[in-house]
């Protein structure tokens, strides 16, 4: 049996993977939220901490997870509404998810740096 990944399958499994990554990343997000709101000192402390390359990379990775999960989620809502359910159109939509999220993730990277 030959097994080939279709774009729909890739869009589906990466949606799941990004969801799990976001769930883990939420610890960083809530930790950062706490520091950012605690006091003036902790706010600037966080700002300093987020200036490092590693921190920026982590922020970008979490943002990428959010962006991809968001865009792939819109795909689900569109298909729930009855659109893009045919073979060709669903394939096109899966490619569109990858292209749109890739562009947004690059934009997010530029914004972070």
Partner 1 sequence: MVTSVTSLGKNGLYDWVIQRATAVVLGVYFVCLMGFLVLNPDLTFQQWQGYMTSTFMRIFTLIALFSMAAHAWVGLWTITTDYLTTRQLGAMGTALRVAVQGICALVTIVYVVWGIQILWGI
Which stretches of the chain bind partner 1, using CB under 8 A? 16, 19-20, 23, 26-27, 30, 33-34, 36-37, 39-40, 43-44, 66, 70, 73-74, 76-77, 80, 111
**Minimum CB–partner distance for residue 90 and partner 1 (Å):** 18
**Minimum CB–partner distance for residue 81 and partner 1 (Å):** 10
CA–CA gap between residue 11 and residue 9 (Å, rounded) = 5
Cα separation of the two ends of the chain:
46
**Minimum CB–partner distance for residue 103 and partner 1 (Å):** 15
Judged by DSSP in three states, 2 sits in coil
Q: Which pair of tokens denotes residue 6?
A: 């279709």
Q: Which pair of tokens denotes residue 80?
A: 């729930």
- Choice between 20 and 106, CB closer to partner 1: 20
């Amino acid at each position: 049996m030959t097994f080939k990944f279709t774009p729909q399958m890739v869009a589906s499994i990466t949606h799941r993977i990004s969801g799990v990554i976001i769930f883990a990343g939420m610890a960083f997000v809530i930790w950062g939220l706490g520091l950012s709101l605690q006091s003036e000192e902790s706010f600037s402390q966080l700002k300093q901490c987020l200036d490092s390359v590693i921190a920026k990379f982590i922020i970008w990775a979490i943002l990428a997870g959010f962006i991809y999960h968001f865009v792939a989620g819109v795909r689900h809502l569109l298909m729930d509404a009855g659109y893009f359910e045919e073979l060709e159109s669903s394939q096109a939509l899966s490619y569109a998810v990858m292209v749109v999220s890739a562009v947004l993730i690059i934009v997010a990277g530029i914004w972070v740096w």
